[in-house]
């Protein structure tokens, strides 16, 4: 990719390429970000740091190689760079030092040892202290699911564990940095045995060492901040990740309060030109909100703006219904509403839920009922099929329906009759996490929350109308939908608050007559496709 004239990549990969490029390499000079409403979240993920058990054991396996039951074709540094170690003594010494230092990282069975109170090594002891702190601050309503707490007012035991863990990470960082320098020296004065294949392997190892070195540096910086004054640019917290009561990871996390700052410094400013395109970047608001999501407030100049009117007739081809008589938290009633509305539309429904547990509960209650009516139902987190394949199956059967969570709200492109009804369980309020609370406080309180929700509603509605002759309905199953959020829908879209019975009748009157049209019956307009 670094040597190509044109690179097509997702947002996160492009940001990683920009962040990890060497100082002497060329910047990414001309950039087009399509689906620009994803920029904020992609930057939030790319420029964050997470010192967790899963990340640490993966680093150990990359350096030492798989151990125990995880043995396979993967190899550690010693096996991958055996020829370099035998040729360059300093490089061989660095590999041995890295292997010795990596032994301080969590090994197989780390999670069980921590749960039993017998952690091994400084990193496992740190994670055990993190676990104890999080559980000590947990509340009753946190039972069964992931829990977290701010990295503030930490006790002495945790601070002591931080010191030992920092020393262990620094002891690992040094030999990896030396090894990368030795590999670069080998390539500069390459011996006869360094053919094209060996060069590619060594260059790959150098890239891997750069990535791991940056990760270790971010972990050391994260630990250095604990126990000291807060950095206003960052949000730090401790977390235990759990699913249905089962722990699967423990760690410390750091995110930028505004991740568009490193986005602007790393990607936008070095570029000679950049375009951001999106149908929903404004999220029903003004240009100021759009620019905040794209990072332009951190530039020294004002960006150029361009806005084109939508080619879609939303007033004629779409309708939003807000159901007013469903009781919040009543799973049987929620499942019944999903089943009735899917039957009324004769399938062709994308059902979106905000929690995996509720998704599974709804699916279990309605799948057989719909199947008896000849209406297939597929679901994320239930069917053992990847999301892309589920969408393909859904697209090819006009009577099929699909249940999913956030990934489907933002990533489904199903033009034509196969998607004619979108059901949204409730208003997609953000989860009350430590990170969200910090951003809410820094960005205007409830106004920030409304901005996030409007953007999510705009994305969910955007799944419905994908080309000019599409039509369909959007049903929100939440009476507690504030009118101030309705600007998320395109101007002119009819919005009605109705009881469930009337919503079912309207959906049936408008959508049930749709015939079974497969994707093969749709011939795309070349102009629209381009």
498-510, pLDDT tens digit by residue?
999 999 999 999 8
The mean pLDDT value for 15-42 works out to 79
Tell me how far apart the alpha carbons of residues 457 and 322 are, in angstroms, rounded to a whole number: 13
Strands 30-33 vs 234-243: parallel, antiparallel or unpaired: unpaired
Give the tens place of pLDDT for each residue, 98-121. 999 999 999 999 999 999 999 999
Strands 421-424 vs 472-476: parallel, antiparallel or unpaired: parallel
How confident is the model at residue 468, as a pLDDT?
82
Beta carbons of 34 and 277 less than 8 angstroms apart: yes
Give the tens place of pLDDT for each residue, 238-266. 999 987 778 999 999 999 999 999 999 98
**E-assigned strand segments in 262-368:** 273-276, 318-323, 349-352
pLDDT category at 463 given cuts 50, 70, 90 is: confident
Give the tens place of pLDDT for each residue, 276-320. 998 888 767 788 888 888 889 999 888 999 988 888 888 888 999
Tell me how far apart the alpha carbons of residues 460 and 5 are, in angstroms, rounded to a whole number: 35
Quote the tokens at residue 344. Answer: 């009324």
Beta carbons of 501 and 347 less than 8 angstroms apart: no
Quote the tokens at residue 244. Answer: 């249905």
Indicate the fold that domain 314-529 takes in CATH: Rossmann fold (3.40.50)
CB-CB neighbours of 240 under 10 Å: 22
38: DSSP letter: G
Dump the DSSP string for 413-464.
Answer: ---STT--EEEESS--PPP--HHHHHHHHHTTTHHHHHHHHHHHHHHHHHTT
Give the tens place of pLDDT for each residue, 511-521. 876 544 433 33
Beta carbons of 465 and 416 less than 8 angstroms apart: no
The residue ranges of every structural domain in the chain are 11-47+263-297, 51-256, 314-529
Quote the tokens at residue 103. Answer: 């032994």
Strands 246-256 vs 377-379: parallel, antiparallel or unpaired: unpaired
Predicted model pTM: 0.83
How confident is the model at residue 81, as a pLDDT?
85
């Amino acid at each position: 990719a670094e040597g190509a004239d044109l690179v097509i990549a997702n947002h996160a990969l492009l940001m990683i390429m920009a962040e990890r490029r060497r100082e002497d390499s060329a910047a990414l000079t001309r950039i087009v970000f399509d689906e620009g409403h994803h920029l904020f979240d992609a930057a939030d993920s790319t420029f964050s740091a997470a010192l967790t058990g899963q990340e640490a054991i993966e680093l150990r396996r990359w350096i030492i190689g798989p151990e125990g039951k995880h043995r396979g074709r993967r190899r550690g540094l010693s096996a991958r760079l055996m020829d370099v170690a035998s040729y360059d003594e300093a490089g061989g010494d660095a590999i041995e030092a890295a292997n010795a230092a990596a032994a301080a990282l969590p090994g197989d069975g780390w999670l069980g040892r921590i749960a039993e109170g017998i952690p091994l090594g400084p990193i496992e002891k740190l994670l055990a202290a993190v676990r104890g702190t999080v559980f000590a601050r947990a509340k009753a309503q946190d039972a069964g699911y992931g829990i977290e707490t701010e990295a503030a007012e930490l006790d002495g035991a945790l601070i002591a564990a931080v010191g030992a863990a920092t020393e262990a990470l620094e002891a690992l960082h040094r030999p990896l940095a030396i090894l990368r320098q030795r590999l670069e020296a080998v390539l500069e004065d390459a011996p006869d045995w360094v053919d094209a294949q060996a060069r590619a392997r060594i260059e790959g190892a150098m890239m891997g060492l750069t990535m791991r070195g940056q990760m270790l540096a971010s972990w050391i910086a994260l630990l250095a901040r604990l126990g000291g004054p807060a950095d206003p640019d960052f949000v730090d917290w401790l977390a235990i990740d759990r699913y249905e009561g089962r722990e699967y990871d423990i760690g410390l996390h750091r995110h930028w309060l505004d991740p568009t700052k490193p986005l602007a410094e790393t990607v936008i400013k070095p570029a000679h030109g950049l375009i951001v395109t999106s149908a929903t970047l404004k999220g029903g608001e003004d240009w100021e909100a759009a620019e905040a999501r794209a990072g332009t407030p951190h530039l020294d100049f004002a960006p150029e703006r361009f806005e084109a009117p939508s080619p879609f007739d939303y007033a004629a081809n779409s309708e939003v219904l807000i159901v007013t008589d469903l009781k919040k938290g009543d799973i049987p009633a929620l499942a019944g509403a999903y089943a009735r509305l899917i039957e009324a539309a004769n399938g062709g429904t994308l059902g979106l839920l905000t929690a995996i547990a509720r998704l599974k509960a709804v699916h279990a209650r309605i799948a057989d009922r719909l199947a008896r009516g000849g209406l297939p139902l597929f679901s994320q987190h239930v069917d053992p099929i990847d999301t892309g394949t589920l969408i393909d199956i859904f697209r090819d059967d006009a009577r099929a329906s699909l249940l999913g969570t956030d990934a489907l709200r933002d990533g489904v492109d199903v033009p034509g009759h196969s998607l004619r009804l979108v059901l949204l369980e409730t208003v997609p309020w953000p989860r009350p996490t430590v990170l969200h609370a910090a951003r809410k406080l820094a960005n205007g309180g409830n106004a920030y929350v409304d901005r996030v929700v409007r953007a999510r509603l705009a994305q969910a509605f955007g799944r419905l109308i994908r080309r000019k002759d599409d039509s369909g309905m959007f049903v929100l199953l939440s009476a507690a939908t504030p009118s101030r959020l309705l600007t998320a829908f395109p101007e002119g879209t009819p919005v009605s608050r109705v009881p469930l019975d009337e919503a079912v009748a309207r959906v049936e009157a408008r959508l049930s007559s749709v015939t079974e049209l497969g994707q093969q019956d749709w011939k795309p307009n070349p102009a629209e496709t381009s």
